[in-house]
Amino acid sequence: MPDLTDLTVHAAAGLLAKREVSSRELTQAALDRIAAVDDRVKAFVTVTGERALAQADAADKRLAAGERGPLLGVPVALKDVLSTAGVPTTCSSRMLEHFVPPYDATVVRRLAEAGAVSVGKTNMDEFAMGSSTENSAFFTTRNPWDLERVPGGSSGGSAAAVAAREATYALGSDTGGSIRQPAALCGVVGMKPTYGRVSRYGLVAFASSLDQIGPFTRDVRDCATVLNAISGHDPGDATSAPVDTPDFAAGIDAGARGLRVGVPREYMPPTLDAGVRRCIEDALRAFEAQGATVDLDLTLPSTEAALAVYYIIAPSEASANLARYDGVKYGFSWQRGESMWENMEETRGRGFGAEVKRRIMIGTYALSSGYYDAYYLKAQKVRTVIRREFDAAFERCDVIVSPVTPTPAFKIGEKADDPYAMYLNDVFTLPVNIAGLPGISVPAGFVDGLPVGLQIIGKPFDEATVLRAARAFEQTADWHMRAPALTA
Amino acid sequence: MRAAASRVLPMTTTPIAAKYETVIGLEVHVQLLTERKMFCGCNAAYADAVPNTHVCPVCMALPGVLPVINRKAVEYTVMAALALNCEIPQFSKFDRKNYPYPDLLKGYQISQYDLPLSQGGWLEIEVEGHEPRRVGIERCHLEEDTARLTHRTDAAGESHSLIDMNRSGVPLMEIVSAPDMRSPEEAREYLVKLRQILRYIGVSKANMEEGNFRCDANISLRPAGASEYGAKVEVKNMNSFRAVYHALQHEVVRQTAELDAGHRIPQETRGWVEADGRTVSQRSKEQAHDYRYFPEPDLPPVTLAPADVDAIRARLPELPDAKMRRFEGEYGLTRYEANLLCESRARADYYEAAVAPAGAGADDASRRYAKQVANWMLGDFARLLNAAGSDIADARVAPADLHALIALIEDGTISGKIAKSVFEAMFDSGKPPATVIDELGLSQISAADEISGIVDAVIARNEKPVADYRAGKQEALKFLVGQAMRETRGRANPATLTEILKAKLDAKA
Ligand SMILES: [Zn+2]
């Protein structure tokens, strides 16, 4: 019997299908693993052991009845930004510390229908604002490869949970790199689908025009499998695209022959960490060895502007999205004030952490009368320019390849007092959100024992090609099969 | 857009405004009569519902929810906009209007800012004694209603604010007029006309007292002949057309006095205090909200192809003005009659159904009662409805029965006088006239032999008047007719009776 916590989704599904292992055994193994390592990793905000075992038993019944499914009975961890009926959904914020939603997010419902077993809710930067989980109001998640380092963020808990073998796969959300960056820093596969591919209904909003839900998995095939389950038009999300969902797993083994790989000059700056650069260059050679062509002369001139665009649009939308947390209806509520207004102000002052407040203030300012044109409107115009530059780049290539982050995982506390240094961590990932494109991070090597991620970006709704390229690359090495020493 | 208000005539209906010209613009919010709320599937009809029962995660603004546009509400808004002669652009979008208040559950209202569903229309109004004028409609857009707050003090004297979320997310249409009205009378007329149109097209109950039709007014004064506007005062808290009228009258007087005293009028928001009959300052311009509008990222833009708009236009019913003109021409009614009959669609529909009931055909013969139907509806029928405090839509008399009643008068079965009693009975019971006449034994005696016998008896009993008539005294005939009518208890056809009586008297002469 293999180590049940080390299985991929398809390996687990295979064993379940053959009835060689039960969902209860898989689930119990995950819960045992959480009990064994999570006091060090701190990936979970809430572990739903009893619920998980009940779901596992239900899955076993379905399996016994002859039903088969790629996710049926397989344990998953959910970022605590996804609404789960009857299970606290905190967004790692004091504001929602005790909030229990009455409804399931569409992706949660889809996973439940597929028979997934949810073992718990994972830690994150508060309201998904951050790149390290240090902005969690509760605790910082540790990088399983080095417990002194951050796992990345904002979906750091989900990435760490998969890397530390606490769940077979996980869901996260990505607004500016919040899936790809922690996936890279934790050495797992993480994908942000095209904006509109996956319903956002029930994803607690940070920046509505940028947010997208996606999977964390151990390999690319699992990623395609999970994407199959969560994709598709949702009448409850007006921004979810009315497009068909192809079988993403179907063509992933087609190889990289003939694939046109483009590398934007702006994504390989001189400041790039030497170790990271080496990993990316190795990856490009691997693509060429597989019969792909590599174009190193691609250019996305407005890359530098993307950070500014992002830090206007995302906080602007957030300033409105977070206005509902006023202590009146649900969540944290300060009630010791003299007046209603005082209570509302104190609720927000005490309920939100520093980074959330910083972004609400930036957004409120950017939208203010007299500044709107200079900031928000200008940012939207540059956003269009960035989109067009990607369009032009995709005339010359099928996928764009780049590093995910400029450096491997940094130390906890290293950038905590320098928001701008922290924001720079996302320079290669957030243009992808601005343009609404699909992007994946796949393990591409190690620097001083720390994982490095390779980003592969595709055309809108062309996840299939991204996954095929990622799968082709993944098979040239065994980076994705390595587990942190924690598990040794 | 402004060309709409082309015929601006000086209005001096409020004498005090002679020195200054009054400028009024109105912002009207109406709840739409859609089955569901604006952005979720909840039932929008909450009038009699227990608080917080017409709610779901979306209209409660729970974390993570998303809005979905109610297409019916878009359609209703476009209908209203077309009825107000607005342009419908192909491309429209929703925006977030940000302001904190406990009744605004998301902390922002989904509304429309720079690309509303419609703009640039007009509405024709007519103040009695003045020429009709067009008031410009700047825009007609769609947004969502807020929750309802009520403030209570409990037995211990502690005050509480309670939230009812049933109203949260009910579709709300905002209609903004141009500053084209020149008197409180015109403002009132505008509201009456607007309400009439909205009810005609069936998109709203448009009842101010029920809160599904709300009005804020902007009013300023400027020296007569000036081209620039004075400082705008926004007046709120008016709960009836009467209140709007009185509040505006009050503002004209107040602002005139301020200007006469050499004071500047500050731009501000004032609230109407019904009990005191005056407005009080609520908020100065400096305290005005910065709503920080920005495009709603959760909703794609609304695109309406010309064919979509044409399809909606085709579903528009005949509007009051057009109907009125048609009634004048087609039924030979006076403007006054046509106006009254077209006041509501129910009344106009009733009228037409009574003039030409189904199956009667649309030929001239079936329309020969046009005048009589109008007389009945504006006379006895209106009086009875008024006394009963009910509406024609609830009347028990079927239009075809009113038609039948008039036919019975025409063919001499009953007299006009009897018909009034018959109608009253019909009004109470809802029975057709023939049944009522039968039950009350009121049918007119038109058979000549029956009348003949009665006439003979009258002649026999009244020797003197008979002699007088034969001697050439015409008044004697009148007396004899009266006697005979009394014998029949009014059931004889007076013309037939007179004819028979005359024939008998003349024959024996
Ligand atoms: Zn609802």
Q: What is the pLDDT along chain B (509 residues), one digit of tens a residue?
A: 334 444 444 444 555 447 899 999 999 999 999 999 999 999 999 989 999 999 999 999 999 999 999 999 999 999 999 999 999 999 999 999 999 999 999 999 999 999 999 999 999 999 988 999 999 999 999 999 999 999 999 899 888 889 999 999 999 999 999 999 999 999 999 999 999 999 999 999 999 999 999 999 999 999 998 999 999 999 999 999 999 999 999 999 999 999 999 999 999 999 999 999 999 999 887 777 899 999 999 999 999 999 999 999 999 999 999 999 999 999 999 999 999 999 999 999 999 999 987 655 555 555 678 999 999 999 999 999 999 999 998 999 999 999 999 988 887 778 888 899 899 999 999 999 988 888 877 766 656 667 788 888 888 888 888 888 888 888 888 888 888 888 777 777 777 788 888 888 887 65
Centre of ligand 1 to C-alpha B130, Å, is: 47
Please check whether residues A39 and A124 belong to one and the same domain. yes
pLDDT in tens, A415-459: 888 888 888 889 999 999 999 999 999 999 999 999 999 999 999
From the list B193, B183, B214, the residue with the least C-alpha distance to B137 is B193
User: Residue B57 and residue B37: Cα distance in Å, rounded?
Assistant: 13
Assess B106–A contact: CB distance below 8 Å, yes or no. yes
Question: Into how many domains does chain A fold?
Answer: 2
Centre of ligand 1 to C-alpha B58, Å, is: 5
Give me the pLDDT at residue B444, please. 64
How many Å separate Cα A482 from the centre of its chain?
Answer: 20
Give me the pLDDT at residue B5, please. 40
* Residue B215, H or E segment: strand B213-223
- The minimal CB distance from B66 to the residues A200, A324, A372 is found for A200
Instruction: Please give the angle made by the CA atoms of A189, A195 and A196, to the nearest 5 degrees.
Output: 115
Centre of ligand 1 to C-alpha A391, Å, is: 39
pLDDT in tens, A103-129: 999 999 999 999 999 999 999 999 999
Nearest CA in chain B to A90: B63
Assess B107–A contact: CB distance below 8 Å, yes or no. yes
Test mutation, A108, A200, A201, A348, chain B, max B CBs within 10 A: A201
* Alpha helices, DSSP H, located in B261-390: 306-314, 320-331, 335-341, 345-355, 370-376, 382-388
The pLDDT of residue A487 is above 70: no
- Listed by start position, the domains of chain B span 2-11+33-312, 318-440, 448-508
The pLDDT of residue A97 is above 70: yes
Give me the pLDDT at residue B477, please. 87
Please check whether residues A140 and A107 belong to one and the same domain. yes
Match 């130390």 to its residue by tokens. A411
Assess A206–B contact: CB distance below 8 Å, yes or no. no
Residue A78 domain flag? yes
- The minimal CB distance from B106 to the residues A99, A323, A344 is found for A323
- The minimal CB distance from A203 to the residues B60, B64, B292 is found for B64
How many Å separate Cα A28 from the centre of its chain?
Answer: 25
Centre of ligand 1 to C-alpha A159, Å, is: 35
Give me the pLDDT at residue A214, please. 98
CATH number among 2.40.37.10, 3.40.50.300, 2.40.50.100, 1.10.10.410, domain B448-508? 1.10.10.410
Nearest CA in chain B to A345: B100
Residue A389 domain flag? no
Centre of ligand 1 to C-alpha A235, Å, is: 15
B380 secondary structure, DSSP code: I
Q: Which residues of B touch A323 (CB under 8 A)?
A: 98, 100, 106-108
Please check whether residues A20 and A159 belong to one and the same domain. yes
User: Residue A35 and residue A51: Cα distance in Å, rounded?
Assistant: 16
Give me the pLDDT at residue A134, please. 97
* Residue B282, H or E segment: strand B278-284
Assess B159–A contact: CB distance below 8 Å, yes or no. no
Assess A365–B contact: CB distance below 8 Å, yes or no. no
Q: Which residues of B touch A349 (CB under 8 A)?
A: none
Q: A234: which residues sit within 8 A by CB, 6+ positions away? A: A106, A199, A201, A240
Give me the pLDDT at residue B368, please. 76
A372 and B292 within 8 Å at the Cβ level: the answer is yes
User: Residue A406 and residue B196: Cα distance in Å, rounded?
Assistant: 66
Sign of torsion over alpha carbons A251, A254, A260, A263: positive
Q: B461: which residues sit within 8 A by CB, 6+ positions away? A: B483
Enumerate the active-site residues of A: 79, 154, 178
Assess A369–B contact: CB distance below 8 Å, yes or no. yes
Query: First-to-last CA distance in chain B?
Result: 82
Looking at residues A221-237, what average pLDDT do you find?
A: 98
Q: Which residues of A touch B36 (CB under 8 A)?
A: none
- The minimal CB distance from B298 to the residues A99, A208, A328 is found for A208
Looking at residues A21-45, what average pLDDT do you find?
A: 98
Nearest CA in chain A to B103: A328
pLDDT in tens, B460-492: 888 888 888 888 888 888 888 888 888 777 777
From the list B138, B159, B173, the residue with the least C-alpha distance to B44 is B173
Give me the pLDDT at residue B4, please. 41
Given a contact cutoff of 8 angstroms between Cβ atoms, the answer to whether A120 and A78 are in contact is: yes
Q: Which residues of B touch A328 (CB under 8 A)?
A: 102, 163
Q: Which residues of A touch B107 (CB under 8 A)?
A: 320, 322-324, 326
Assess B85–A contact: CB distance below 8 Å, yes or no. no
Assess B302–A contact: CB distance below 8 Å, yes or no. no
3-class DSSP state of B171: strand
Nearest CA in chain A to B302: A238
Nearest-CA distance A237 → chain B (Å): 6
Q: A206: which residues sit within 8 A by CB, 6+ positions away? A: A81, A127, A128, A129, A173, A175, A314, A317, A318, A321
User: Residue A403 and residue A2: Cα distance in Å, rounded?
Assistant: 33
Please check whether residues A225 and A337 belong to one and the same domain. no
Give me the pLDDT at residue B433, please. 92
Please check whether residues A171 and A136 belong to one and the same domain. yes
- Strands, E assignment, B75-186: 91-92, 95-98, 108-111, 118-125, 133-144, 148-153, 159-164, 171-177
Which of A:113-172 have CB within 8 Å of B? Answer: none
Q: Which domain holds residue A211?
A: 4-259+398-487
B290 and A368 within 8 Å at the Cβ level: the answer is yes
Q: Which residues of B touch A103 (CB under 8 A)?
A: 57, 62
Query: First-to-last CA distance in chain A?
Result: 17
Assess A324–B contact: CB distance below 8 Å, yes or no. yes
A328 and B102 within 8 Å at the Cβ level: the answer is yes
pLDDT in tens, A315-363: 999 999 999 999 999 999 999 999 889 999 999 999 999 999 999 999 9
B64 and A237 within 8 Å at the Cβ level: the answer is no
Please check whether residues A53 and A87 belong to one and the same domain. yes
Which structure tokens are listed for A465? 């090609």
Please check whether residues A42 and A171 belong to one and the same domain. yes
3-class DSSP state of B485: helix
User: Residue B353 and residue B401: Cα distance in Å, rounded?
Assistant: 10
Assess B282–A contact: CB distance below 8 Å, yes or no. no
User: Residue B115 and residue B302: Cα distance in Å, rounded?
Assistant: 10
Residue A290 domain flag? no
Looking at residues A82-107, what average pLDDT do you find?
A: 98
3-class DSSP state of B6: coil
Residue A420 domain flag? yes
User: Residue B58 and residue B186: Cα distance in Å, rounded?
Assistant: 41
Nearest-CA distance A241 → chain B (Å): 10
Give me the pLDDT at residue B492, please. 76
Assess B292–A contact: CB distance below 8 Å, yes or no. yes
User: Residue A385 and residue A387: Cα distance in Å, rounded?
Assistant: 5
From the list B88, B84, B107, the residue with the least C-alpha distance to B96 is B107
Residue A215 domain flag? yes
Which structure tokens are listed for B335? 């403007």
- The minimal CB distance from B64 to the residues A202, A319, A322 is found for A202
A319 and B98 within 8 Å at the Cβ level: the answer is yes
Give me the pLDDT at residue A488, please. 42
Q: B73: which residues sit within 8 A by CB, 6+ positions away? A: B32, B34, B38, B142, B171, B173
Residue A28 domain flag? yes
